[in-house]
Amino acid sequence: MTNTGFLPVSRKEMEERGIKQFDFVYITGDAYVDHPSFGVAIISRVLESQGFTVGIISQPDWKKKESFLTLGLPKYAFLVTSGNIDSMVAHYTVAKRLRSTDYYSPGGKMGRRPDRAVTVYCRKLKEAAPEIPVLIGGLEASLRRFAHYDYWDDRVHPSILVDSGADLLMYGMGELQITEVAQRLRNGEKVETMTDIRGTCYLTQPKNTPLGSAQCPDFSIVAQDKKSYAKSVRQQMNEQDEVYGRTVVQRHGDRMLVQNPPMRSLTQEELDAVYALPYQRRYHPSYEAAGGVPAIQEVEFSITHNRGCFGACNFCSIAFHQGRRVTCRSEESVLSEALKLSKNPRFKGYIHDVGGPTANFRHPSCEKQLRYGLCKDGKKCLAPTPCKALEVDHTEYLEMLRKIRKIPGVKKVFIRSGIRYDYLIEDQNEEFFDELIQYHISGQLKVAPEHCSNAVLDKMGKPHIETYRKFVKKFYEKTNQANKKQYLVPYLMSSHPGSTLNDAIELALFLKKEKIHPEQVQDFYPTPGTVSTCMYYTGLNPYTMEPVYVPREKEEKAMQRALLQYFMPANRELVLKALKKAKRFDLIGKGKNALVEELPSAEEQGGKNRKGNQRAARSNPSGKGKHSAKWQSTGAKPGRRKK
């Protein structure tokens, strides 16, 4: 018997384990990676710990129903996920161009999963085995659970439950949902009667709509009326709290979509138990010949210590998926994982990250939220300024990092997932800041100011730029005191709703003043499940219903992006065009604040070269010497071959 420690992915591995029929067969759009950074690994290991058998079918050929039956029919249900990210985001850039690499596929090869993978997989399963329940979860299903704007089709789609034909949707972090569903299936209950499980969605006859539900406008209405769509998003966001969240319903034709209230967060003991499961922390050996799975590289020697994010940026889907309540693993659990990493034969002494959605969150933002829940209607814990009730404390996180650093074989412990600098600088105790500088930065610290225009930052749900300036000042003061050469790498976003051309110019001037030359910038990507996507589609702020300017035209988006990299020669023409359109002629030329020069046209440049050649010929009729007209006209230099 060849037991690799991985869950079975083939008939051969199934037979080697003596399994005649799986309880669950898990269909995933990703390659199978048995690591707790991958949802498939967590859910399948949780089921295994409850005594269930699980087989994995990774990236089946969606054109052939036989490829979904390679492990036979499951006893209880098929589980379906697109993988760690939305399949459309995995396939397409914000410009809707096909990506060249799929980091979640063997060898990074594209084309191993379909567009809208969850829907395609479910339809094929219903065709191949209509009698077997299909349960969906993961990011793609979770963020598309209501009627939602689809950027790639540029229209509103119905709930993914309607499109896919699945029997039940589990949203958010699904350990408790799948455990309850599985146990009730084992007890003989049918999926169609499981209408009371928190953290799930189902379809029912309108007459069965639960009393006391918050009702969103119907799909037929939000698909046509943008004000109604914005209203529905506000309702959905306001009920995503495990303390006070109500059942939310939305009619889709002759059926009612029902979202039960969010599932409670795992306790620390439960979270520790999840991360103590026997993950192999590696991709399945069958992918070795293809070069492995690229996505493992960043996370293999990283540790996740928390979940949830009360930062709740408007363009981020974490609040709608994981939730805003922060939960964390115990110090003992994290240290145990770090010790395992140190004994891995592939370990080189570097722990790449001890983080999560936000690395330096270990506790809820305030004690009140544990009893009453988090604030509604878009109110933020940190933006535009920190809430007076905010509790800031890095003590526990710092102590944990200190102990990890002392583990034999550990050379460095880096923090690479996001640091909330606005939270960090509110800490009156600067010990964590000092040790972050001293021990936990690999030359560059990535932070996310995103923009400098406070009007845009308000639409993003981010702190104002003064907060970032304060952090930058303190960061470099401490870096110099530590005699380190370390730098900040700011994440910046162009074309976010609310960003006008003048705002983009303001950002370019900010970058010039701060001597920041970003190598990469991100155009706003309207993905399902975010407030910013609602603004993009409707042109409205769903919390205030006030109009929001949205840069949608391809040319303006290109200009806003180019302004963030105004210093690149390739962007000169676009930057010039933007400045002229905004009538900012003061920023063209050689002045102190100028962003770009207006070079002569090709025709003018040609005339200038001809005059120069004539003068050179008159001064050096022989054409010899290092300043000959030949060198002036070609732009080459003596002694170097022009390439």
Q: Given a cut of 90, is residue 632 above it in pLDDT?
A: no
Split at pLDDT 50, 70, 90, the class of 609 is low
Please give the order of strands across the beta sheet that includes 54-58: 54-58, 24-28, 77-81, 134-136, 168-170, 200-204, 255-259, 248-252, 214-215
Please tell me the predicted confidence (pLDDT) of residue 599. Answer: 75
Split at pLDDT 50, 70, 90, the class of 591 is confident
Distance CA 138, CA 89 (A): 14
Q: Given a cut of 80, is residue 587 above it in pLDDT?
A: yes
Q: What is the mean pLDDT of residues 383-389?
A: 96
Buried/exposed code over 15-36 (b: 16+ C-beta within 10 A; e: otherwise): eeeebeebbbbbbbbbbbbbbb
Split at pLDDT 50, 70, 90, the class of 602 is low
- Which positions ≥6 away from 639 have C-beta within 8 Å? none
**Under a CB-based contact definition with an 8 Å cutoff, are residues 11 and 70 in contact?**
yes
For CA atoms 457, 520, 98, 144, give the dihedral sign.
Answer: negative
- Which positions ≥6 away from 132 have C-beta within 8 Å? 73, 74, 77, 78, 125
Q: Given a cut of 70, is residue 351 above it in pLDDT?
A: yes
**Burial of residue 434, with CB atoms counted within 10 A of its CB: 0-12 exposed, 13-18 middle, 19 or more buried:** middle
**Under a CB-based contact definition with an 8 Å cutoff, are residues 492 and 449 in contact?**
yes
**Burial of residue 322, with CB atoms counted within 10 A of its CB: 0-12 exposed, 13-18 middle, 19 or more buried:** buried
How many Cα atoms occupy the beta-carbon half-sphere of 107 within 13 Å?
A: 10
What are the C-alpha distances in Å from 400 to residues 276, 330, 362, 397, 471? 17, 9, 11, 5, 24
Distance CA 586, CA 565 (A): 18
Q: What is the mean pLDDT of residues 177-189?
A: 98
Q: What is the mean pLDDT of residues 470-499?
A: 96
Q: What is the mean pLDDT of residues 280-292?
A: 96
**Under a CB-based contact definition with an 8 Å cutoff, are residues 396 and 362 in contact?**
yes
Q: What angle do CA 299, 300, 303 make, to 5 degrees?
A: 65
CB atoms within 10 A of CB 583: 8
Q: What angle do CA 328, 146, 496 make, to 5 degrees?
A: 75
Please tell me the predicted confidence (pLDDT) of residue 622. Answer: 39
Please tell me the predicted confidence (pLDDT) of residue 234. Answer: 98
Please tell me the predicted confidence (pLDDT) of residue 225. Answer: 98
Distance CA 515, CA 478 (A): 19
**Under a CB-based contact definition with an 8 Å cutoff, are residues 369 and 325 in contact?**
yes
Q: What is the mean pLDDT of residues 225-249?
A: 97
Residue 445 carries which side chain, given as an amino acid letter?
A: L
pLDDT digits (tens, 9 = 90+) for 21-74: 999 999 999 999 999 999 999 999 999 999 999 999 999 999 999 999 999 999
Owner of token pair 């004994």: 343
Q: Given a cut of 80, is residue 641 above it in pLDDT?
A: no
Owner of token pair 């490829």: 67
The values of phi and psi at residue 377, to 5°, are 55, 40
Distance CA 142, CA 146 (A): 9
**Under a CB-based contact definition with an 8 Å cutoff, are residues 413 and 353 in contact?**
no
The CATH fold assigned to 488-611 is: Transcription Regulator spoIIAA (3.30.750)
Please tell me the predicted confidence (pLDDT) of residue 598. Answer: 84
Distance CA 543, CA 394 (A): 32
Q: What average pLDDT does the structure give for the chain? A: 92
pTM for the full predicted model: 0.91
Split at pLDDT 50, 70, 90, the class of 592 is confident
- 11-259 and 488-611, same CATH topology: no
pLDDT digits (tens, 9 = 90+) for 198-217: 999 999 999 999 999 999 99
Closest residue by Cα to residue 595 from 559, 626, 543, 630? 559
Split at pLDDT 50, 70, 90, the class of 502 is very high
Owner of token pair 């005649």: 20
Split at pLDDT 50, 70, 90, the class of 449 is very high
The CATH fold assigned to 11-259 is: Rossmann fold (3.40.50)
Closest residue by Cα to residue 118 from 154, 76, 149, 90? 90
Distance CA 122, CA 529 (A): 21
What are the C-alpha distances in Å from 45 to residues 7, 49, 54, 274, 586? 9, 6, 8, 8, 62
Split at pLDDT 50, 70, 90, the class of 635 is very low
**Under a CB-based contact definition with an 8 Å cutoff, are residues 71 and 14 in contact?**
yes
Q: What is the mean pLDDT of residues 556-580?
A: 96
Q: What angle do CA 523, 525, 528 make, to 5 degrees?
A: 170
Domain ranges of the chain: 11-259, 488-611
Split at pLDDT 50, 70, 90, the class of 638 is very low
Specify the pairing of strand 155-157 against strand 148-150. antiparallel
Full 3-state SS string of 144-195: CCCCEEECCCCEEECCHHHHHCCCEEECCCCHHHHHHHHHHHHCCCCHHHCC
Full 3-state SS string of 450-515: ECCCHHHHHHHCCCCHHHHHHHHHHHHHHHHHCCCCCEEEEEEEECCCCCCHHHHHHHHHHHHHCC
Please tell me the predicted confidence (pLDDT) of residue 417. Answer: 87
The values of phi and psi at residue 61, to 5°, are -75, 105
Which H or E run includes 204?
A: strand 200-204
Q: Where are the beta strands (DSSP E) in 519-611?
A: 522-523
Q: What is the mean pLDDT of residues 280-305?
A: 96
Please tell me the predicted confidence (pLDDT) of residue 3. Answer: 57
Q: Given a cut of 80, is residue 455 above it in pLDDT?
A: yes
- Which positions ≥6 away from 303 have C-beta within 8 Å? 334, 337, 338, 341, 351, 353, 354, 355
Split at pLDDT 50, 70, 90, the class of 624 is very low
pLDDT digits (tens, 9 = 90+) for 317-342: 999 999 999 999 999 999 999 999 99
Distance CA 461, CA 315 (A): 8
CB atoms within 10 A of CB 190: 10
Please tell me the predicted confidence (pLDDT) of residue 606. Answer: 56
Q: State both tokens at 530.
A: 């975010």
Considering the chain, what percentage of its residues have pLDDT values greater than 70? Answer: 93
